[in-house]
Each structure stands twice: as structure tokens, then as C-alpha cells.
Structure 1
Amino acid sequence: MLTLHTAELLVAGAGAVPVPGGAVLVQGDRIAGVGPYEELAAGRPQARVRRWPGVLTPGLVVHGARELLEETYYPDEAYGAAAVAAVAGAEPTEAERGGSARRATQKLLARGVVAVTGRLTVPAVRTAVARSGLVLLPPAASAPVSPSLDPFAGRAGAEEAFLGVLEAGAPARFAVFAAPGPGELAAVGATACVATVIGGRLLHRRR
């Protein structure tokens, strides 16, 4: 199925000239076209259209998968403060680590993150990441000393967190943020994410 994602502003990559009313045409798990909405829509009138507010950018990447997903435990806050406190000092089981990783991946998707770098050794955590749709990349040479769920942490600018460039033939991995432009992304924060697409699938949508 063809899907046309359009936003108030499109930024195809770091340093790219913003395109007002730009769009990304997705076919399967790949990008079939990038450009002004009117041009893409005219060429593919049968495409389903998703309209988003804000700025559409490449998806974001965070470093330190092991530190974030295996060495950090994210309690299920739905059980209340007492339950969270009960596991604070305990060593989690592998199943609990898997549950923790699932909750962490949802936090990442809700921040426009499409990939994490690093190596994972806990099977339940690897499974959680694979099922989430997040892409696991090799460790990065420039990984931060203190990894963070915030993809903009430690960055000089939001564009440093972009993964790749949005262009025809590239993997369909991008995000949309409720921000007026790329220069304001770091200021509004990654939690302003409206939607996250990985492999052509809409994996997060702000309700």
C-alpha cells in the first residue's frame, strides 16, 4: 500500500533545506519519493494520505543500548508507587528485564527514536527490541559517556540525532514533531513527537 505522509515542514536530513508542505511517499518498507505534497499526490492519487502537524524529519538514534535497556530497570508505573519502590533495590529476573525493555522501547518510540546502537546480551531484551521495531545498530565510536533516552541529550543540535537522509529508496524511518522547525526541536524536546514510522509502519502516534 502506498502512503503519503505530509507535514507543515519537511526536513529530509541534516543541513537540508526545509520544504514547506513537504511529504514522504512510502511503499512497503521503503521511501518511494520525497518532495512537495502537491507533486507527489498528483503522481500517486491512489495513495492513502496522513497529515501531521509540525516538522517531519529522519528518525532519531540513541546510543548505549546495553546501558539503557539491560542495565537500567524501568518499573511498571501502572502498579503504583508502592510496587515501583518494591523493586527499586532488587536484581530483576530475565523476564522482568524483558518487560522493562518493552517499556523503555515505548518511551523511545514516543520520542521519535527509530534506532539504538550497542550490543545486547540478554535474550529477553533482544526479543523486546526486535518486537518493538527499533533497529539495533553496531556500537557507535562517539557514544556518550552517560546514555540517555533523550535523543537530544549531549547534542549540539537536534540534527545530530538524525539517522540518515529521507530519499527515494531509503528505509522508511522518520518522525514528526510538534515544532515549527528543526531549529526549535531541541528546545521543545523529543517528547513533542507526534508520530514515529519504522519500516513503513506507524509505530507511535500521539493520542
Structure 2
Amino acid sequence: MPTLHRARLLHTGTRTLRDAAVLVDGATVTAIGPYAALADGPARVRDWPGVLVPGLLNPHAAWLLEHAYHPDPREELGDHPLPPPAGLTDGQWGGSARRGLQRLLGHGATALAGPLHRPAVRTATARSGLRHLPGPDTGPGPLDPLAGRPLANAVHRPLAVGAAADFAVFAAATVEELDGGGAACLATVLGGRLVYRRA
């Protein structure tokens, strides 16, 4: 069954609509427009507060996954990337990468860039569904793709009918509040699947 994602503000990457929605069927966006115009069809409705925007690209993700360690919550070391302990096995790198990928999704990232050399990290990334783009290693950077950047520079690709249903919802009253980062991500949808939802 299609899903209609409704938001107070919807920013496609090129325009902003109030009380609007994205209709998703499978992995694809099939309609974008005012909620009232799309609400008549048979679809499950997800009503989101805040601002719905296209999925974001994290240009530092390769470094974050291959050169930083994402601790397991049971280690009680917090949820920020740390310098990796010496002697991590491939399995431990894979576990760290899976946790790092989940944390990237928790910041609205649906795509990452940079070379991935570790097999365990490549496997975790492929299984996560995040779009992996080629590109240079940009070095250290934050998990939040919006930190220090305007939204326009962080969008992976605009939301469009016929394109992949990759988007995120943030707790914000205006689109401008997202510039520079720090807004709480409420949900991330990747290929039409709800892959992150803030507790």
C-alpha cells in the first residue's frame, strides 16, 4: 500500500510547500503536493511535525566509518566517534561501521561519499542501503551533514516524482533553521523504507 508522508513544511530542494505531502509507492516518489490534493487516494498516512527535506549527503562518511570507532552502547563510551582502539578485527570494524551508519541515518543522511577500503565497512554500507558515491576522502568531519553547511549544500538530490524516496524529517519550524545543523532528525526514509525514527 502506498504511504503518504505529510509535513507542516515540505522542501523539495527547489521549492517549499506548507501542509504538503510526498506519496511513496514502493521505493519511488509518485506524487508531491498539497496534502489536501493527495489525501483522497488509498494510502497509509504518516503525519510528521516539522520540516520534510530531501535526504542528505555526508561528505565525511568514509573517514567516519574507516578511521573512527563508533562504540557499542554497552561500552558506556557515549555515541560520538572516537579514535579507534588498537588491533580492531574485521568483525569489530564491521560492528563499528553498522553503528556509525545508523548514527548517520539518525542525522538525515541517505548518501555518503568517499573511498571505502575495508571489506567489512564496504559490506556494512552495502547492506545499510545508504547511497555510496565515489569521491575523495574529505577527512574528519561531523556525523551531522548540516553542521556548518547550508541545507542547499547538504542535499543529496532534490525530491522529485519518479525519483527514489529518500528524505528526512527535522524538528524545525522553518527551513532556514536547518542551516548549520543541530536540528533533531525525527525520521529518515531511504528507498521508501522508514530506516530511522527518533524515539
State the TM-score, normalizing by the size of structure 2. Answer: 0.90
Is the aligned partner of 1:179 residue 2:177? no
Q: Provide the residue aligned with 2:4 in structure 1.
A: 4
Mapping of 1:80-159 within 5 angstroms? 80-81=76-77, 89-139=85-135, 144-155=138-149, 157-159=150-152
Alpha-carbon offset, residue 145 of structure 1: 4.7
Give the AA of the match of 2:167: F
Question: Quick check: 1:158–1:186 contact (8 Å CA) kept in 2?
Answer: yes
Alignment RMSD, CA only? Answer: 1.8
Q: Which runs of 5+ in 1 are unaligned?
A: 82-86
Alpha-carbon offset, residue 116 of structure 1: 0.2
1:21-40: CA deviation from partner (whole Å, max 9, x where unpaired): 01000011110010101111
Q: Compared with structure 1, are the counterparts of its residues 161 and 88 closer, same or farther at alpha carbon in structure 2 (3 Å cutoff)?
A: closer
Q: Which has the higher helix share?
A: 1
Alpha-carbon offset, residue 94 of structure 1: 0.9
Is the aligned partner of 1:165 residue 2:158? yes
The separation in 2 between residues aligned to 1:52 and 1:19, in whole angstroms, is 14
Equivalent residue in structure 2 for 1:65, among 53, 58, 61? 61
Give the AA of the match of 1:186: D
The separation in 1 between residues aligned to 2:12 and 2:135, in whole angstroms, is 25
Question: Quick check: 1:2–1:47 contact (8 Å CA) kept in 2?
Answer: yes
Is the aligned partner of 1:75 residue 2:71? yes
Alpha-carbon offset, residue 54 of structure 1: 0.1
The separation in 2 between residues aligned to 1:198 and 1:69, in whole angstroms, is 19
Equivalent residue in structure 2 for 1:22, among 6, 13, 20? 20
Q: Compared with structure 1, are the counterparts of its residues 25 and 130 closer, same or farther at alpha carbon in structure 2 (3 Å cutoff)?
A: same
- Counterpart of 2:132 in 1: which secondary structure? strand
TM superposition outliers: structure 1 runs of 4+ over 6 Å = none
Give the AA of the match of 1:54: G
Question: Quick check: 1:62–1:150 contact (8 Å CA) kept in 2?
Answer: yes
Q: Which runs of 5+ in 2 are unaligned?
A: 78-82
Alpha-carbon offset, residue 77 of structure 1: 3.1
Question: Quick check: 1:64–1:139 contact (8 Å CA) kept in 2?
Answer: no
Equivalent residue in structure 2 for 1:201, among 187, 193, 196? 193
Q: Percent identical across equivalent pairs?
A: 50
Q: Compared with structure 1, are the counterparts of its residues 188 and 149 closer, same or farther at alpha carbon in structure 2 (3 Å cutoff)?
A: closer
Q: Provide the residue aligned with 2:80 in structure 1.
A: none
The separation in 2 between residues aligned to 1:88 and 1:118, in whole angstroms, is 19
Q: Compared with structure 1, are the counterparts of its residues 196 and 129 closer, same or farther at alpha carbon in structure 2 (3 Å cutoff)?
A: same
Alpha-carbon offset, residue 115 of structure 1: 0.5
The separation in 2 between residues aligned to 1:88 and 1:97, in whole angstroms, is 9
State the TM-score, normalizing by the size of structure 1. Answer: 0.87
Q: Provide the residue aligned with 1:40 in structure 2.
A: 38
Question: Quick check: 2:61–2:143 contact (8 Å CA) kept in 1?
Answer: no
